[in-house]
A and B are shown apart, each in its own frame.
Chain A
Amino acid sequence: MAQFLQQLVNGLSIGSIYALMAVGYSLVYSIMNFSNFAHGSVIMLGAYLGYYSMTLLGLPFWLAFIAAALGTALIAVVLERLAYKPLRDRKATFLYFIITAMGASIFIDNFVIATIGPTPKMFPAVFAQGPILFGKIALGRIDLAMFVISAICLAALIIFIDYTKMGKAIQATSFNMKASTLMGINTNMVIFIVFAIGGALAGIAGVLYGMKYQVFPQIGGITLKSFIAAVFGGLGSLPGALLGALVLGLVETLVSGYLSTQYRDLIAFLILITMLIVRPSGIMGKNAEDKA
């Protein structure tokens, strides 16, 4: 029983990382209708920004968070202007966006390998070592911080989308971009804001990931999992991304814990494929087309 509860805690903590990443994916997807595969690389840059803010600049960790979030928001916006805007202006199909995103991702990853180097780096210790114990169940301090920070970010995002004018504009644009433009919504501004928010979430996710594990150029690779979580929950839906991420984290942990690690990805992907066949829009998805 203690083992089962411990595995649940493990699963939820992995799920909460996937969630922060998956929400960034879903947000961009809901507006642009393509999967921004460069999101993973922005997360990786966020981890490095946080790391260097703490080690080189000596910032306290909450300031490092803000610095990384601002930095990646800027990077995401610049990326949109340089890589995606020219495509939008030419009304390119979504396939070109995906290929451009992959290209940008490979470029950024290799740029970091070439300049900073491939050796993993360790964040300076922020929290006291040793877990908080509840009977036999150990809860890591960093995991607890992750739960809290992820929850705050996601709550702030949901409030922003549901209760502000800009949030309403984002919803309208995601519903129909052409009609929104006709109604006088500045959709270019909406896209700008969406990339900035997605980038800031990526930065926070990157710093959290780096603190929990290590900082290395291939961090972006893990976002494949958060993409699966986003599809599973329903691409374009924020609560869906959150739910999908937590479910995926739990499934992975329980499979590794009770069957074997070799079966983990096998079963995770099996669930994804089954989901796509039975309910293509995901748990909470808005439409069933273009899951790419």
Chain B
Amino acid sequence: MRAFMCMLLVVAVALSGCTGAAKVDTIKIGWFGPQTGDTALWGQAEFNTVQMIVDEYNAKGGLKVGSKTYKLDVVGYDDKGDSTEAVNVAKRLTSQDKVVAIVGAQGSGEAIPVAPIMNEAKIPLVASTATNPKVTVTESGAVNAYMFRACFTDPYQGAVAATYAYNKLGKRKAAIFMTVDDAYSAGLSEFFKKSFTKLGGKIVAEVSFTAGEKDFRAPLTKIKASNPDVIFSPNYYTDVSLSAKQARELGITSVMLGGDGWPSENLISLAGTALEGCFFVNHLDFSDPSVADFKNAYKAKFKKNAELNSYMVRDALAMVIDAIQRAGTIDSVAIMKALETTDIQGITGHIKIGPTHDPVGKDAAIIKIVGTEMVFQEKIQAQP
């Protein structure tokens, strides 16, 4: 009799647990990125964006999935732009907060070590601006099942930069100036070098610095001695602006070319006139009419211009929401399956996910710095 009572109790507890779970009508979406440190500006811009979009959905009554309507909720953590911290917060999001999907992971340095955690937890992650190929495809060539991204990849970006420098700017002698302990910078350099030499150009100097460095004159003096006609600087805007100023102080006049680490509200205010006439590859053109609505909404809400990361995470979140709706359930595995067949029009371009979980054939924009303005030049595609 006592045993029977016990069993009854167990069943009752189990049942109440079930009904408790069924009552949940919130979809938790995770976000992580740097809210402190060098790249904090972009992390803050991303988190603002995710919250803004989630608020918009909730104000309209929530998200309809199948026959049910859910409220959206975002759980965000600061990874300080640090890979160890990123692993910690990803574990917390997947095991403690039980989110259905994660967006963010803006830096490749943070997104790559997080991949095994997502695969194990079977929860998909859509990276906003992590462009290194290893984010979605492992060293051995296997696709990370739960990793996706909204941006193009480094081989593509490197090829675009090399093609533009060689074909459009007519440059033949390039120097590479990179952050040696950063996967993004090292990766982009490698692919630029590959494409540029394949086109027939010559790499005259390859110099590097370590992250956190503030004095670049020793490596820059090396570049000066190699006399290049273009300097490829695939670094983040704080390093780009400071190194450009020091380069000009050393009397280096070559045009500089960079990647998507450049675009930032602060780039020109930090660099002064040091980057006049330089170019960078971007994911979109900020004056494109298709981004205008979002840009204005962001500015109205936060009294600040949207950063590149705002646009990118907006599309990453759009991919997740689209996948949830097509899956018709909030099961993470089903969402992952739906993400594999993503084919949506984002504000940063057409996003069609290919077999490697990367968008295929996305246009890149070339932007020129003129005075205090970032002026759109043209959209180009390249063969990586």
Contact = CB atoms under 8 A, between A and B. Distances in A.
Q: Do A and B bind each other?
A: yes
A60 interface: no
Nearest to B237: A120
Given A122-B270, A138-B249, A262-B180, A213 B221 contact: no
Contacts, number: 82
A138 B250 contact: yes
A257 interface: yes
Contacts of A120: 38, 238, 266, 270
A10 B221 contact: yes
Interface stretch (A125-133, A147-155, A161-169): A125-133
A126 B250 CA distance: 18
Nearest to B207: A261
Given A3-B225, A131-B250, A14 B215 contact: yes
Interface string A134-148: 000010100000000
Given A130-B248, A138-B250, A261-B207, A213 B270 contact: no
Interface residues of A, number: 36
A6 B242 CA distance: 19
Given A120-B238, A129-B272, A261 B209 contact: yes
A214 B270 contact: yes
Contact of A118 (B36, B209, B219, B221): B36
Contact of A133 (B180, B210, B251): B251
A179 interface: no
Interface size class, chain B: 20 to 34
Nearest to B273: A129
A216 to B, nearest CB: 8
B354 interface: no
B218 A214 contact: no
A256 interface: yes
Nearest to B43: A118
A98 interface: no
- Sorted nearest first, the 9 A-B pairs with minimum C-beta distance are A256-B218, A10-B217, A257-B218, A213-B214, A118-B40, A253-B218, A138-B251, A140-B249, A3-B225
Given A120-B266, A257-B218, A264-B210, 9 more contacts: A3-B221, A10-B221, A11-B218, A130-B248, A133-B251, A213-B242, A214-B242, A214-B270, A257-B219
Interface of B: 36-38, 40-41, 180, 207-210, 212-215, 217-219, 221-222, 224-225, 238, 242, 248-251, 266, 269-270, 272-273
